């Protein structure tokens, strides 16, 4: 009779550990599905609840097993999540989802952006020496009108009131610097 009770107790105590590993597997599957299915975090919440259920199952098996499992989750959980994110972020799917990049178009867009920046800088460089008028007060940044064109500008020093004549003296960081022209 005692042998029968011992066998029953051993069979019952192995059941929670089996459930713990089942919950871990369910959590991994749910987190994997979360990558592809936009659920607003609902699947991630279910995965988190599955992890909590696995911890509870480990504690139901044995307190030491529960503590060890909790320690492993605390130490290795963030590491595994970081590694998984790094692997996923370098995948073509992630590049399409995050950047909208299909086949290396990011380099082309960067080159185009750089050429537009240089073109803008050349246009501003051509304005050095041109005269205009302030539209707003420059404290030190405001709007000026040069050749019937409104441009953001920075006062070389101090504050320049509105409707004052100015001259472009420098282009710095894609912005023009102006100085008030005194009669």
Domain with residue 130: its CATH number is 2.40.50.140
Beta bridge partners of 145: 133, 150
Q: Return d(Cα 88, Cα 40) in angstroms, integer.
A: 19
Q: Per-residue pLDDT averaged across 34-62, rounded?
A: 89
Note the pTM of the prediction, 2 decimals.
0.47
Q: Is residue 106 part of a domain?
A: no
Are 6 and 85 members of one domain? yes
Rounded to whole angstroms, the Cα distance separating 41 from 49 reads 12
The last residue of one of the domains, among 47, 71, 98, is 98
Alpha carbons 113 and 88: distance in angstroms, whole number: 27
- Inter-residue contact 125 to 159 (CB < 8 Å): no
Other C-beta atoms lying within 10 Å of the C-beta of residue 168: 23
pLDDT tens column, 158-181 = 899 999 999 999 998 788 999 999
- Is the predicted pLDDT of residue 99 greater than 70, yes or no? no
Q: Check residue 1 and give its pLDDT.
A: 46
CB-CB contact of 43 with 34 (8 Å): yes
Helices (H), 62-156: 63-89, 92-98, 105-125
Please count the structural domains in the chain.
2
> Is 17 in the same domain as 74?
yes
22 and 90 part of one domain: yes
Query: What range does the domain containing 94 cover?
Result: 2-98
Closest CA to 34 of 20, 48, 21: 48
Backbone angles phi, psi at 35, to 5 degrees: -65, -35
Give the residue with greater pLDDT, 92 vs 66. 66
Q: How many other CB atoms are there within 10 angstroms of residue 134's CB atom?
A: 21
For residue 105, name the pLDDT band (cuts at 50, 70, 90). low
pLDDT digits (tens, 9 = 90+) for 111-132: 778 888 888 888 889 899 999 9
Q: How far apart are the C-alpha atoms of 41 and 15, rounded to whole Å?
A: 30
Distances (CA, A) of 130 to 70, 141, 170: 70, 18, 11
Of 98, 127, 149, the residue that ends a domain is: 98
Shared-domain flag, residues 57 and 20 = yes
- Name the domain boundary from 63, 98, 133: 98
Residue 166: Cβ within 10 Å count: 24
44 and 123 share one domain: no
């Amino acid at each position: 009779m005692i042998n029968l009770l011992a066998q029953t107790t051993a069979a019952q105590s192995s059941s929670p550990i089996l459930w713990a590993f089942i919950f871990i597997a369910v959590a991994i599957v749910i987190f994997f599905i979360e990558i592809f299915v936009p659920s607003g975090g609902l699947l991630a919440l279910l995965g988190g609840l599955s992890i909590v259920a696995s911890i509870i199952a480990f504690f139901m098996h044995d307190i030491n097993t529960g503590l060890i499992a909790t320690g492993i989750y605390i130490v290795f959980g963030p590491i595994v999540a970081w590694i998984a994110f790094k692997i996923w972020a370098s995948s073509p799917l992630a590049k399409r989802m995050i950047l909208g990049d299909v086949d290396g178009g990011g380099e082309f867009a960067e080159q185009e952006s750089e050429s537009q920046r240089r073109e803008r800088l050349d246009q501003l460089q051509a304005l050095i020496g041109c005269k205009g008028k302030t539209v707003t007060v420059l404290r030190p940044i405001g709007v000026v009108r040069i050749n019937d064109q409104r441009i953001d500008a920075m006062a070389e020093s101090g504050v320049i009131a509105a409707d004052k004549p100015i001259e472009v003296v420098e282009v710095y960081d894609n912005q023009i610097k102006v100085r008030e022209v005194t009669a």
